[in-house]
Amino acid sequence: MPKLVIIYGTGSHNTERIAKAIEEGAKAEGIETILKNVSFAEKNQLIDADAIAIGSPNYRDAMMPSVQKFLNELADVDLAGKIGLAFGSYGWGLEAIQAISKQLTSYGVDMIKDLGIKRMPGDEELEICRRVGSLLACKINNKEVKCAA
């Protein structure tokens, strides 16, 4: 079964809310998902993933140190060709998401989108996150087909 692994850090649960909505969107399309707070994530869980979504809030113009540490540990996992998404909540800047995207790109991940949501996601934002989850599922299922954003 096609698989999406979602790993996130969060301080006050906003990025967690985004992660859960992405999972809902992907699950609705019949994709198997693993959702983990980075504190409980293991890099081996990514080995057989078709797509990986990594999220962090923006704190002091950067991603959370726990997410940075996890990303660094992925250097010796073969992620080339997997589909990727960087996401997170922020107050006024997108540095964390951009840095996640850059690092995953350097590992050969095919990044589809940067999903930044300002502060706590409301109903409208959560719907956007679900749609991005569906988009990830579509990309996994039909690698060659154009998916609606």
The span of 29-37, 55-63, 71-79, 97-105 binding ligand FMN (CB under 6 A) equals 55-63
Q: Candidates 36-44, 51-59, 70-78, 107-115 — which segment interacts with ligand FMN by CB under 6 A?
A: 51-59
Nearest to 7 by CA among 33, 27, 36, 46: 36
Q: Which residue from 92, 88, 36, 37 is spatially nearest to 63, judged by alpha carbons? A: 88
Per-residue binding string, ligand FMN, 82-101, x by CB under 6 A, is -------xxxxx--------
Q: How far is CA 129 from CA 14, 26, 104, 106, 108, in A?
A: 12, 10, 20, 25, 24
Is 39 one of the binding residues for ligand FMN (CB under 6 A)? no
Binding residues with ligand FMN: total (CB under 6 A): 17
In angstroms, the Cα distances linking 76 to 52, 108, 110, 132, 135 are 16, 12, 17, 28, 28
User: C-alpha dihedral over 20, 124, 118, 19, to 10 degrees?
Assistant: 10
- The correct pick among 3, 36, 59, 113 for binding ligand FMN (CB under 6 A) is 59
Q: Is 119 in the site for ligand FMN (CB under 6 A)?
A: yes
Gyration radius of the chain's alpha carbons: 14
Q: Of the candidates 2, 7, 15, 138, which one interacts with ligand FMN according to CB under 6 A?
A: 15
- Minimum distance, C-beta of residue 48 to ligand FMN, in the bound complex (Å): 27
What residue ranges bind ligand FMN (CB under 6 A)?
Answer: 10-15, 57-61, 89-93, 119
